[in-house]
A and B are shown apart, each in its own frame.
Chain A
Amino acid sequence: MSRARYKGAEAGSGTFSGAGFAVKLVLIALVDALGVFGVLAAWRAGSWGILAAMVALLVAANWVYFTKRALPLKYILPGLAFLLVYQVYVVGYTGYVAFTNYGDGHNSTKEQAVDALLVQNERRVEGSPALPLTVVEDGDGELGFAVVEDGAAEVGTAEEPLVAAPDATIDAGAVTEVPGWTVLDRATVLQRQDEVTTLRVPVSDDAADGSVRTQDARTGYVFQPVLEYDEAADTMTDTSTGVVYTPNDDGQFESADGETLPVGWRVTVGFENFATAFGDERYAGPFVKILLWTFAFAVLSVVTTFALGMFLAMVFNDPRLRGRKVYRTLMILPYAMPGFLAALLWSGMLNKSFGVINQVLLGGAAIPWLTDPWLAKLSVLGVNLWLGFPYMFLICTGALQSLPGDVYEAARIDGAGKWRTWRSITMPLLLVATAPLLISSFAFNFNNFTLIKMLTGGGPRFDDASVPLGHTDILISMVYNVSGLDGSAPRDYGLASALSIVIFVVVGVISAIAFRQTRKLEELS
C-alpha cells in the first residue's frame, strides 16, 4: 500500500511539475491534432487500413502518456511507432508482395482494374450531340468541364460527375461564368493542354453511361466504354465484337481463345515468383551467377580490407615511429569520404578512354577496367578496398593497443618467434575483438548497392539482353533492376520482393550463425 502510494507520488511529481507537464500536454495536443487530421483524410480517401493504423497509434499514444502504468513505454513508444510502420510493416509487406503478381499490368485491385478497362476502351457514342464546352477550375486547382446540354449548364470534374449548374451564365451557347469555379482563359488552357485532353468527366455515377471528353477545349462529346462489365456473372463483354472475357487465375480477363485484356489486378500467385527466380531460364542463370558473385564480393571485400588494415595497423603499431599521427590522419581520409562520391569518382578515374588511371598512370593504355566482366569485378573489389581499409586499420589499431602485454611476455619467455607470436596470439585475439565488426562489414557489403550502382551500374551486361542484369550486379542491385523503379524495365514488384526475401534469409541466417559463434569466441577468451 505505502509502496503503491510512493510510486504514485513519484510518477505524479513528474507529471505535475508545471513546465514539464505543460510541454507534455502541448506535444500530445499537437500529435492528437495531426492524428485526427490524418484519420479524417484517411476516411475521405477510403483507406481503411491506414485509418485503422492511425486510430490505433493515436489511442496508444494517449493511453501511454496519460496512464501511470506504462512508464517504460513512454520512452519507447515514439521510436517504436516509426519502427513498426517503416520497418516491421514494410518487411512484412515485402513478404506479402513476394507472393503476388504485383507489377506492370497488375497494379491495383480488381475493382480499379475494371474501372480502368471501362475508361480506357471508349468510343464516341454514335449520333451523340456536340456539347459546347468550357474548361473550368475549382478552388483546389482541379480541372473540370462546364457543358451546355439542351440549353442547361452542367459542371463536373474527373472525380465528380456532371451536375446541373442552374446559376451559371450562358453566353452564345457556351458557359462563360460559373459561381465557385474559375473559367480558364485560352492561354492557360493551351498551357495545360495535356491535362485538358486527358480529362474525362463522367456523365453520371454509373461508369457505363460514359464520360465527356474534348480534343479542342471548345466542344465535348460523350464517350462510352466499348467493354461492358457484368457484375453478377463477373465477365467483361466487348459490345462491338460480342467476345466474352472471364477472369483467370493470373488476375486478368481472358477470352475463350486465350486473349487477355491489358489491365489486370494483383492476385496471390503462391511460389511462382520464387520459381521464376530459381527456375525460369531468363532469370535462373543470371540469378545463380549473381548469388555467387554477391558472396564472393562480400567475403573478398572483408578479407582484403581486413588484411590490408591489419597489416598497416601492425606496421604503425610501433611507438618509436615518428609521424604516426600524420600517417594515420591521411590514411583515414578515404573512410571519411562519402561512399557514393568515392564510387562516382573512381568510375571516372577508371574510364577506359579518358580516365586518369589509363591515361596517366599507365601511360595511355586502354584497359577496359569497367567494361570487361573480370576486370570490372576486380575494379569493384579494388575500389572497395580503397574505401574500406582505413576502417579496418582503425579498429585493428584499437584492438592491438588493448591486447594484454603479459601474454607477449610469456610467449617470449617460452621462446616463441615473431611469426609464431603473431599466428598464435595476435591473430586470434584480434579476431575475437573484431569478429562482430567483420560480420557487420560482411552484411553491409552484401547489400552494398551504392558502390555497385555508382561504379559499374552492374555492367557489363550479360549477353542475354532480355533481363536488365550484368556481371557485377549483386542481389540488391538485381532487386532494384527487376523492380523497374528506375524505369529501365517493366515493373515487377512481386519478383523483386521475392528476391528481397531471399536476401533477408541469407543475411538473417549468416548473422544468426555469426552471432552465436562470436558469443562462443567471447566465452573462450
Chain B
Amino acid sequence: MTTSTDRAGSRRGTAAPGTGQQVLRHRMKPGRWARELGWRHVVGVLAVLYAVFPIVYVVSASLSPTGTLTGSNELFAQVSGVNYAELGDTKFWTWMGNTLVIGVATAVGTVLMGAAAAYAFSRFRFAGRRLGLTSLLIIQMFPQMLAFVAIFLLLISLGEVVPALGLNSKLALICVYLGGALGVNTFLMYGFFNTVPRELDEAAKIDGASHAQVYWTIILRLVTPILAVVALLSFISTFGEFIIARVVLQSESNWTLAVGLYGWVSSLLEANWGLFAAGAVLSAIPVLALFLFLQKYIVGGLTAGSVKG
C-alpha cells in the first residue's frame, strides 16, 4: 500500500512536463524499456507516418493556390481556399448531393429489407427455410457488379417501358443496389437476430402482440447496433461504388462523386489536381467522420457476423 502511494507521488513529481514514456522509463530500466516497449513506439511512428502521409499531402494540395500537381509538392507552402471556392463553379456539389441521396436511400432500403428477411429466417419455421438460407449463401458468392453488362442491357429494356427505371436514372441505380442488399447483409443480421432470446417475443405474443408488433416494437429495438452497422457498411460501399454507377449514370448532372472525380483526374490530371484534392477532402469527410465515430461497432459487426456466417 505504501509503495503504491510512493510511486504515485513520484510519478506526479517527475511527469509534470513530460509524457508517459518518461514515467515508464522511470519505472523500468532504459534498456529494458527500449527492448520491450520503445521499439513498439518506433514501429508505431513509422506506421502512422505511412498511413497519414497521403492524407496530409492531399489536405496540403487542396490548400495550394497553384492547383497543379507540381505546385502541390511543397507541403503547406502557401495556404488558400481558392480550390474550395472554385468547386462552386463545377458540378461537384451536384455530385455530392447525388451521392448522398443514393447512399442514404440504399442504406435505408437495405436495412429495412435485410432486417425483415433476417427476422423471417430467424423467427419462423417454414417450408423452404433451409433452402432459402442456402440459396442466399450461394448467391452471396456472386457479386452483382460482375453482371454489369447484363444490368446495362436490362436497364435499356426497362427504360423503354418506364424511363425512371432505365439508364441515366438515379432511381434505377438505387434499385440495382437494393438488388444486392439481401444477398450481402441477411447473414450478418440473421446471426445477430438469433442472439435475441425467443422468450421475449413469445412473452409478447402471449400478451396479445401480433407478429408485426413483435417485429417493429421489440426485435428492431434490440438489434439496433447491427442495423447501424449494416446501414453504415451499405452507405460506404455505395459511396465508393464505381463500375455500376459509371455504366448506369450517363449525364454529368446525374453522376456520383466516384464517377465525377474520376473524370477530373483521368482527363486532365496535372491541371485539375487542386480541384480534385479539394473535392477529395470534402468527400472523405462524411465517411471519415462516420467511421471514426462508429469504429467500435464496425469491427464488432464485421467479426461477429462473418465468423458465424
Name A residues whose Cβ lies closer than 8 Å to a Cβ of B. Answer: 10-11, 13-15, 17, 20, 37-38, 41-42, 45, 47, 49-50, 71-76, 78-80, 82-83, 85-91, 93-94, 97, 102, 312, 315-316, 318, 320-323, 327, 329-342, 344-349, 351, 354-356, 359-360, 386, 390, 394-395, 398-399, 433, 436-437, 440, 443, 447, 449-450, 453-454, 457, 476, 479-480, 483, 485-486, 493, 496-497, 500, 503-504, 507-508, 511-512, 515
Contacts and interface: CB of A to CB of B under 8 A. Distances in A.
6 contacts: A10-B210, A97-B149, A323-B20, A334-B54, A341-B280, A453-B242
Contact of B72 (A83, A356, A479, A486): A356
Contacts of B175: 82, 85-86
A476 B266 CA distance: 19
Contacts of A348: 69, 265, 269, 273, 276
Given A38-B161, A82-B179, A355-B69, A344 B276 contact: yes
A347 B265 CA distance: 9
B50 A386 contact: yes
Contacts of A90: 144, 147, 150-151, 154, 179
A293 to B, nearest CB: 18
A341 B210 contact: no
Contacts of B295: 332, 394
A10 B205 contact: yes
B230 to A, nearest CB: 12
Contacts of B41: 321, 323
Interface string B30-59: 000000110011011001101110110110
B142 A83 contact: no
Contacts of A94: 146-147, 149-150
Nearest to B208: A13
B212 A320 contact: no
Tell me the dominant secondary structure on chain A's binding face: helix
A331 B265 contact: no
A515 B138 CA distance: 11
A76 B120 contact: yes
Contacts of A453: 242-243, 262
Given A41-B162, A79-B116, A312-B47, A336 B247 contact: no
A433 B306 CA distance: 10
A354 B270 contact: yes
Contact of A330 (B20, B51, B299): B51
Interface of B: 19-21, 24, 36-37, 40-41, 43-44, 47-48, 50-52, 54-55, 57-58, 68-70, 72-74, 112-114, 116-117, 119-121, 124, 126, 129, 132, 137-139, 141-154, 157-158, 160-162, 175-176, 178-183, 186, 205, 208-213, 215, 236, 239-243, 246-247, 258, 261-262, 265-266, 269-270, 273, 276-277, 280, 283-284, 287-288, 291-292, 295, 299-300, 302-303, 306-307, 309
A399 B303 CA distance: 9
Given A82-B179, A86-B151, A450-B243, A91 B20 contact: no
B178 A82 contact: yes
Nearest to A439: B306
B210 A11 contact: yes
B117 A76 contact: yes
B284 A341 contact: yes
A436 B145 contact: no
A312 B50 CA distance: 13
Contacts of B246: 486
Nearest to B141: A511
A201 B48 CA distance: 68
Contacts of B258: 338, 340, 450
A493 B116 contact: no
B287 A338 contact: yes
Task: Enumerate the 4 nearest inter-chain pairs by beta-carbon distance, A residue then B residue, closest first.
Answer: A86-B179, A14-B210, A322-B20, A79-B113
A336 B270 contact: no
B243 to A, nearest CB: 5
A351 B69 contact: yes
Contact of B261 (A97, A341, A503): A341
A296 B114 CA distance: 34
Contacts of B142: 87, 91, 504, 507-508
